[in-house]
Amino acid sequence: MASEWISRRSLVRGSVAAAALLTASGAASRAMPAAAVPAGRSLDIEALQAAISDLAHPPSVSAQLRVAQGQQHWYGTAGVSDIAGGRRPRPADRFRAGSVTKVFVATVVLQLWAQRRLELDAPIGRHLADLLPAHFGRVTVGQLLNHTSGLPDHEGLPDDSTPEAVLRHRFDQWTPEQWIRTIPADRPLKFPPGTKQEYRGISYVLLALLVERLTGRPYGEVIKSRVLEPLGLRHTLLPGGDPHLHGPHLHGYLRMADGTLQDVTVFNMSSTWGEGELVSTVDDLFRFQRALFSGALLPPHAMAKLFTLPPDSVRMLDGSPARYSMGLQKVTVNGLTFWGKTGEVYGYRTRVFSTRDGRVRFVLHYTPTPLTTDEEMAVRVAAVLAG
């Protein structure tokens, strides 16, 4: 039994995607056919609870899991919402959802495309010429959505290589324009746009700016009016410059070099504007996932973009097959294919995945304490559901 899981390093800097091949048991086979979940199979609640209760692998303070398989639903928790109070997590507790933000941005961009307010094959320079040099501006909207832009690497970023360094920069204030300027304008593109795939957070900063240019409104307000309010996602928001989590929430922690835990819940997320600042809950993300996959937010021709990878000739930089569509990523576990998104912020991890038909889906959130972790918990959950 094997699983391939796609993870991202816990960066608020959002430029490098890390792919990890994690073996649960036996040898991996990329050629395994997609398996269907047997009709009527019951959820293995004991195994799911065990999957999130091992808070030593990775070291975590809490975990929450909401699952649907056919008509069966289950919610489970482990650990505590904060180490001082000791309260168990609840499904309406807010947390930082990281790059799950990108699915909300992609949804709005595809809505605007479906309404013929933009073209996916149009160069982004048509809309953001004042922010990008001409050779960057030829990258298309669609290439930003599916991470095939070829934009150069960032330069001059603050040090975030240790937990102590992260704390030193936790209240840094960034604007989207400042973030864009960390990509040197005199550098060439890393590869011809559309020929390779490399996960880049900056792509979604540009897409959020595109939304603002097209609508004349802050992108967070557009997401609120087009997605959050219609779905009744009352606990989900784009916080802007507010570094606090308000109301019931989960605390995030980082373990320092001296072994102590430092609370990193209060954090200025301006460096993740447009690509990683979402605050949400397990219940809200579960509702959003159901609406998105059922077609409630996008018409069929836009939905197809969510489930279409680039051509086979397009590979990740390491030579592995492309795995990002225009808004989602694809993961196959024991022959069962999931589509969804990972989200990572210091002290928080979120995994939102579903089969395309919505028969098996889950939202996993946990609060690991190392600066970087592997995918042990997500692998355990997915292996139970795909077993």
Mean pLDDT of the chain: 91
Strand order in the sheet with 72-79: 17-22, 3-8, 329-333, 336-345, 348-354, 360-368, 60-69, 72-79
201-222 residues labelled b (16+ CB within 10 A) or e (exposed): bbbbbbbbbbbbebbeeebbeb
- Is the pLDDT reported for residue 4 higher than 70? no
The identity of residue 1, as a single letter, is M
- Is the pLDDT reported for residue 18 higher than 50? no
- Is the pLDDT reported for residue 321 higher than 90? yes
Q: What are the structural domains, with CATH classification, of the chain?
A: 3-386 (3.40.710.10)
The identity of residue 266, as a single letter, is V
Task: Please tell me the distance from the alpha carbon of residue 114 to that of residue 94, in angstroms, as a whole number.
Answer: 32
Contact 281, 91 (CB under 8 A): yes
Task: Please tell me the distance from the alpha carbon of residue 20 to that of residue 31, in angstroms, as a whole number.
Answer: 18
**Residue with structure tokens 């909300």?**
104
Q: What is the pLDDT of residue 155?
A: 96
Task: Please tell me the distance from the alpha carbon of residue 254 to that of residue 10, in angstroms, as a whole number.
Answer: 11
- Is the pLDDT reported for residue 3 higher than 90? no
- Is the pLDDT reported for residue 370 higher than 50? yes
The pLDDT-based confidence of 41 (bands split at 50, 70, 90) is confident
DSSP alpha helix (H) spans, 162-313: 163-168, 176-180, 202-215, 219-223, 229-231, 282-294, 300-306
Q: Rounded to two decimals, what is the model's pTM?
A: 0.92
Across the range 360-364, mean pLDDT stands at 98
The identity of residue 376, as a single letter, is E
- In the three-class reduction of DSSP (H, G, I as helix; E, B as strand; rest coil), residue 93 is classed as coil
The pLDDT-based confidence of 40 (bands split at 50, 70, 90) is low
